[in-house]
Amino acid sequence: MTLTRRMFLGAAGAVTTLTLWPWQGQARTAGDTRLLVVLLRGGLDGLHTLIPRDDPQYRSLRGSLVPDDAPALDGSFALHPSLSFAHDLYRRKQLLPVVAVAPPYQERSHFDAQNCLENGTGRPSGAGTGWLNRCAGAMADGEALAIGSVMPLIMRGPGDAATWSPPLPEDVNPILLQRLEPLYSHDAALSASFSRAMATQGTVAGVGGRAARMVAATTAAGRFMAKADGPRIGFVEDSGWDTHANEAAILKNKLSELDVGLRAFHEAAQPIWDRTVVVVVSEFGRTAKVNGSGGTDHGTGGLALLAGGAVRGGHIAGQWPGLAPGDLNEGRDVRVTTDMRALFKGVLAGHLRLDMRTLDTAVFPDSGKVRPMDGLLV
């Protein structure tokens, strides 16, 4: 399924109301569940996001990267201070951090790791379609929506998936806009939509820059998915998480953007929040030790965050491997203790009610030995 230019401009011109919806199916029952996957491209540093404050090796490895005033979650971990809304969700038992998680590919290449995460196999070239698309195809009412201008690999395939792009960012060349205007001026329907779209460029109230784009994306996802006939599966992605230098300053801003985006989705998705799971993942973690540029390099074991009213939150999930030299992968990275497919399977089986045979063979091919995580959902 493809959103037409007319549909796109209608939705873009009504970014605060999103009155145009491409699917015209019947309203579903109140028991329908929703899943939003958020991919942070570049390799989120889980050790800077979820701080293992009681691990005896942490401060010696991290030095100046240890965040100040990180609020405690439990006796062992704290959350970065930029994630204030996420911390509030944790207190409400609607946020579940999952430690030491990664796709089966662990060779530290962005592109290969992202391909594995998105195609749902153990090899970068293991499938030409995405596991979220295959998931949608396995469901009777599995419409899926990717927020972005290009269909990402994770959503490609024969399943019922579409894309929607938020309004153009503030820094669009005005000359380009002037040249586009005549193309639409002779079409009565498109002309009005284009004018409204131009009037709303970059105008998410109170937020600017990259944070505005994150808010626009998650707000759109929330409002589309909250509709009675809206998609059950959504996807949002963000870049800029590759922090080889100056990590403390970069992640202070990036984690704040993520936090604002989660809050925006929460507000937009209120009608369905209690039956929604948000899964935030990245292609890999980063090195345990700080490099010479105040950053970290590509690693393996990372962090996932689950949020939503359907999440059994308020604690830390997964097996923490420790940061002692003998516990690290190749002496440098957090060791992976959970295959990311086990996390996804736990959500898809318990939340979207996919059967294990479908998960083991169709959604995640040849993954029968990877058992689903339990205890993730209420």
**Residues 75-84 pLDDT 10s:** 899 999 999 9
> What CATH code is carried by the domain that includes residue 351?
3.40.720
Residue 181 is assigned to a structural domain of this protein? no
Q: Are 365 and 121 in contact (CB under 8 A)?
A: yes
Residue 8 confidence (pLDDT) above 70:
no
The CA-CA-CA angle for residues 183, 186, 192, to 5°, reads: 90
| Predicted pLDDT of residue 212 | 86
Residue 261 is assigned to a structural domain of this protein? yes
Residue 313 is assigned to a structural domain of this protein? yes
Residue 117 confidence (pLDDT) above 90:
yes
Q: Which residue has the tokens 């938020």?
A: 166
- Rounded to whole angstroms, how far apart are CA atoms 23 and 166? 18
Residue 122 is assigned to a structural domain of this protein? yes
Mean pLDDT check: name the lowest of 158-167, 216-225, 313-322, 344-353: 158-167
For 72, the token pair is 């405690």
Residue range 236-252: average pLDDT? 96
Residue 354 confidence (pLDDT) above 90:
yes
Residue 96 is assigned to a structural domain of this protein? yes
Range of 286's domain? 5-12+31-167+202-363
Distances (CA, A) of 316 to 99, 320, 321, 334: 7, 9, 13, 16
Residue 330 confidence (pLDDT) above 90:
yes
| Predicted pLDDT of residue 256 | 97
Provide the strand spans (E) within 159-202: 161-164
Under the banding of pLDDT at 50, 70 and 90, the label for residue 26 is very low
Mean pLDDT, rounded, of the chain: 87
| Predicted pLDDT of residue 211 | 77
- Rounded to whole angstroms, how far apart are CA atoms 237 and 235? 7
DSSP state of 363: I
* Bridge partner list, 278: 36, 307
| Predicted pLDDT of residue 106 | 87
DSSP state of 27: -
Residue 29 confidence (pLDDT) above 70:
no
| Predicted pLDDT of residue 195 | 54
Per-residue exposure over 163-182, b if at least 16 CB sit within 10 Å of its own CB, e if not? bbbbbbeeeeeeeeeeeeee
For 281, the token pair is 């993942």
DSSP for 19-60, written as a single string = ---S-------TT--EEEEEEETT---HHHHEE-TT-TTHHH
302: enclosing H helix or E strand: strand 302-307
**Residues 185-231 pLDDT 10s:** 566 666 656 555 544 443 344 455 667 889 999 999 999 999 999 99
* Bridge partner list, 39: 237, 281
* Bridge partner list, 51: 78
Residue 18 confidence (pLDDT) above 80:
no
- Is the model more confident about 200 or about 53? 53
The CA-CA-CA angle for residues 339, 365, 36, to 5°, reads: 60
**Residues 139-192 pLDDT 10s:** 998 999 999 989 999 999 999 999 999 775 555 555 555 566 566 656 666 665
* Number of structural domains found in the chain: 1
